[in-house]
Amino acid sequence: MKVNLCLKCQEKAVYHRKYSGENLCPNCFNNSLIEKTRKTISKYKMINYGDKVAIGVSGGKDSLALLDILIKIKEYKDFELIAITIDEGIANYREEAIEIALNAASKAGVKQVVLSFKELFNFGLDEALMNRKEKKITSCAICGPLRRRAIEIGAKKVGANIIATGHNLDDILQSFMINLFSGDVYRIKAGDPRKEAKKEFMIRRIKPFMEIYETEIAFYSFLNELRFQTLECPHMNEGIRTEIRNSLDNFENKHAGIKLSLIKSMFEICENIKLNPKQLQSCNICGYNSSSNPCSTCKTVEYISELTRSSSLENR
Ligand SMILES: [Zn+2]
Ligand SMILES: [Zn+2]
Give CA–CA dist 84/203, Å, rounded: 15
The rounded percent of the chain whose pLDDT value lies above 70 is: 92
**pLDDT at res. 268:** 95
Question: Is pLDDT of 198 > 70?
Answer: no
Q: Residue 269's closest CA among 187, 146, 170?
A: 187
| Strands 281-282, 111-116: pairing kind | unpaired
Q: How far, in Å, from the CA of 308 to the mean position of ligand 2?
A: 19
Q: Is the pLDDT of residue 266 over 70?
A: yes
- Summarised one tens digit per residue, pLDDT across range 126-139 is 888 887 766 667 77
Domains of the chain with CATH codes: 47-273 (3.40.50.620)
Compute the mean pLDDT over every residue in the chain, rounded to the nearest whole number.
88
DSSP the chain: -PPPB-TTT-SBP-EEETTTTEEE-HHHHHHHHHHHHHHHHHHTT-S-TT-EEEEE--SSHHHHHHHHHHHHHHTTS--EEEEEEEE---TTTHHHHHHHHHHHHHHHT-EEEEEEHHHHHSS-HHHHHHH---TTS-HHHHHHHHHHHHHHHHHHHTT-SEEE----HHHHHHHHHHHHHTT-HHHHHHT-TTPPPPGGG-PEEE-TTTTS-HHHHHHHHHHTT-----SPPTT---SHHHHHHHHHHHHHHHSTTHHHHHHHHHHHHHHHSPPPGGGGEE-TTT--EESSSS-HHHHHHHHHHHHHHHHHHHT-
Q: Determine the distance separating the centroid of ligand 1 and the alpha carbon of 9, expressed in angstroms.
A: 4
Of these ranges, 150-154, 180-184, 303-307, the one predicted with the greatest mean pLDDT is 150-154
Give residues whose Cβ lies within 5 Å of ion ligand 2: 283, 285-286, 294-295, 298
Ligand 1 centroid to Cα of residue 20, in Å, is 15
Of 89-98, 192-201, 212-221, highest mean pLDDT:
212-221
Task: Say yes or no to pLDDT of 201 above 70.
Answer: no
Query: In this structure, which residues have their CB less than 5 angstroms from ion ligand 1?
Result: 6, 8-9, 11, 25, 28
pTM assigned to the model? 0.91
Q: Is the pLDDT of residue 209 over 80?
A: yes
| More confident position, 103 or 187 | 103
pLDDT confidence band for 259 (50 / 70 / 90)? very high
Q: State the virtual CA torsion across 7, 9, 10, 12 in degrees, nearest 10.
A: -90
| Portion of the chain with pLDDT greater than 90, in percent | 57
**pLDDT at position 151, please?**
94
Cα(284) to centroid(ligand 2), Å: 7
**Predicted local distance difference test score (pLDDT) of residue 224:** 95
Instruction: Please tell me the number of the ligand nearest to residue 25's CA.
Output: 1
Question: What is the structure's pLDDT at 73?
Answer: 95
Judged against a pLDDT cut of 90, whether residue 173 lies above it is answered with: yes
How far is Cα 298 from Cα 288, in angstroms, rounded to an integer?
10
Closest ligand to residue 285's CA: 2
Whole-angstrom distance, CA of residue 81 vs CA of residue 41? 15
pLDDT at 204 exceeding the cut of 60? yes
Separation between Cα atoms, residue 146 and residue 93, nearest integer Å: 18
Using the mean position of ligand 1's atoms as its centre, give its distance from the Cα of residue 220 in Å: 14
Ligand nearest to the CA of 145: 2
> Is residue 314 over pLDDT 80?
no
In this predicted structure, what is the pLDDT of residue 278?
A: 64
Q: What confidence category does residue 40 fall into, taking pLDDT thresholds of 50, 70 and 90?
A: very high
Residue-wise pLDDT for 77-105, tens only, equals 889 999 999 999 988 888 889 999 999 99
Q: Which of 56, 8, 58, 57 shows the shortest CA–CA distance to 29?
A: 8
